[in-house]
Amino acid sequence: MLEVPNRLHHRKKIMIVLIGVLVIFSALAGRLVYLAAWCAEYYAAQAQELHERERSIKAARGRILDRNGVVLADNKTVCTVSVIYSQIQDPERVVSVLSEELSLPREYVAKQVGKFSSREKIKSNVSKSIGDRIREYDLAGVKVDEDYKRYYPYQELASKVLGFTGGDNQGILGLEVKYEQFLQGTPGLILTVTDAKGIEIEAAGERRVEPKNGLDLTISMDANIQAYATMLAKQVCESKEAEGVSILVMNPQNGEIYACVDIPEYNLNEPFALSEEAQSLDSKAKQELLNGIWRNRCISDTYEPGSTFKIITASAGLEDGCITPSSVFFCPGSIKVDDRIIRCHKRTGHGSQDFTHCMMNSCNPALISVGLRLGVDKYLQYFEQFGLKDKTGIDLPGEAGTIMHSKENMGNVELATVAFGQSFQVTPIQLLTTVSSLINGGRRITPHFGLHTSDETDAVIDTFAYPERDGIVSEETSATLRGILEKVVSEGSGRNGQVAGFRVGGKTATSQTLPRGSGRYISSFIGFAPADDPQVIAIAIIHTPKGIYYGGQVAAPVIRQLYENILPYLGIEGYNQ
């Protein structure tokens, strides 16, 4: 009686299991169709990625060229030697050859060769001749890929402007890092196919994704002017046993920098080289020493400008109308400001003189009087109007800002000292830029190096533009200032800056470094030519010269020698030509 229900029950179970199996197989079949039809490309790519090995091909870094096409930073072909563990057939032979050819300890090479990795680098920046020699051994699992290393054909020339690159060929300092996005290029790839054990399948060959080289950068620097300015800087540094010498040469009309020298400089091809004495220092001390070697005082250091800053005070007084070139001042040898007596460099005084002669004689009491006539509020207003509170915006990293009294802390005594260039600090590039803006008709220009980038066909890709600001001073004030500064050179304290056949304007300075009374001085001279239509302006700064330290006797002759050579070279005509 119970047999029929049991049979029905078993049949139902079988049907349920059968239906379940059919559903599962249907789902699997559907999934298989889905993977084969709709996901084929994805999984093919995944399989290819699993069996492909890639090695990067570095892009050639863009060159840096001077304004005449002279190559200042180039590339040298080198090699990177690496090994692939799964492909090595004779480890002992590989270790022996690589340790010998690469001059590396056998233990180090053996350790690298024994690492179970897709690719292990043994050494980079290997000379091409050694790389080619290693290729000739035809060692399984050893890869020699060509690479690029930055090379500077002129070694020390413009080292603190160009900067250098690291082991990965990326910019670290100077223009190399500032224009990294244009110079670096895009790396390529070498793709090879391997089996499940990671052995390359020779029949599959290799695929290459070619690198895209970086763009060349053309800069405003003139290698000839830079080289000559460097030679002069070295000469005066040696003869005066100075701590350093800085020279900047610029076009005051557009801000293009022709030369930027800061002695001592360093070899760009060996930027981390230190003296034997320095080798015993700890890593922190070594890095601090290197930072000092690499530092560009023209851009990154401030100093008390001294009497060259009288150009700014004179411009403010002339623009304000509180003085004219014929305004008369009396110099008894000192001036009392509040409770402070401030002396002139000529202790016996200059007596009665017009303002033009005050500038020619670099008279401190006269310039202090101009500052006091303006007052703190107005003086600071002109300080800001001339652009001295802002950075210049030069296209080099690490520019320092002006260090100036706050309005709240500036009384008559502080105003008096600022008026003749003391108790505050500016960078050389800031001072040169400001003076350029005052003598070029009143346009605040941006000092710069970058002109344009170009590709391998020399086609210009990017042309760089820089901001200018009008109305710094009036054309009339600018012309008057040029006339006064020409008198400073032709008849005044800047006589040693005269250049035969050319009209030169300028101003000397001798400032004492802190602390006062240390006997350490900074000698400087700013000069521009032609005086009536400035096409070039330069500043020479000698840090702590021994013996005679007056700017008119130490720095002015440097600019004179510079101009005697570069004015004809630049095609600037003199008055007797």
Residue 304: helix, strand or coil by DSSP? coil
Name residue, tokens 């009491």: 365
With residue 538 as reference, give the H or E element that holds it: strand 536-543
Output the CA torsion sign for 44, 45, 46, 49: positive
Q: Bridge partners of 523? A: 510, 542
DSSP per-residue string spanning 399-453: PPPPB---GGG--HHHHHHHHTT-SSBB-HHHHHHHHHHHHTTS-B---B-EEEE
Name residue, tokens 């001749």: 129
Residue 209: helix, strand or coil by DSSP? strand
In one-letter notation, the amino acid at residue 173 is L
Q: How far is CA 520 from CA 236, 243, 514, 544, in A?
A: 16, 10, 8, 5
Cα–Cα distance measured from residue 290 to residue 120, given in angstroms and rounded to the nearest whole number? 31
Integer Rg of the chain from CA: 35
Q: Which of 307, 327, 423, 436 is catalytic?
A: 307
Whether the CB-CB separation of 478 and 439 falls below 8 Å is answered with yes
Residue 47: helix, strand or coil by DSSP? helix
Nearest of 389, 383, 409 to residue 401 by alpha carbon? 389
Cβ neighbours, 10 Å, residue 136: 8
Tokens at residue 482, please?
């040029």
Beta strands in 107-243 (DSSP E): 120-127, 142-151, 188-193, 206-209, 216-219
Cβ neighbours, 10 Å, residue 372: 17
Phi, psi for 461 (deg, rounded to 5): -100, -55
In one-letter notation, the amino acid at residue 531 is A
103: annotated active-site residue: no
Cα–Cα distance measured from residue 129 to residue 137, given in angstroms and rounded to the nearest whole number? 13
Nearest of 442, 429, 443 to residue 481 by alpha carbon? 442
Nearest of 466, 433, 439, 432 to residue 534 by alpha carbon? 439
In one-letter notation, the amino acid at residue 92 is E
Whether the CB-CB separation of 393 and 467 falls below 8 Å is answered with yes
Q: Bridge partners of 257? A: 250
With residue 71 as reference, give the H or E element that holds it: strand 71-83
Cα–Cα distance measured from residue 269 to residue 266, given in angstroms and rounded to the nearest whole number? 9
In one-letter notation, the amino acid at residue 422 is Q
In b/e form, how buried is each residue of 245-277, taking b as 16+ CB within 10 angstroms? bbbbbbbbbbbbbbbbbbbebbebbebeeeeee
Cα–Cα distance measured from residue 461 to residue 51, given in angstroms and rounded to the nearest whole number? 40
Nearest of 494, 440, 479 to residue 307 by alpha carbon? 494
Give the residue numbers marked as catalytic: 307
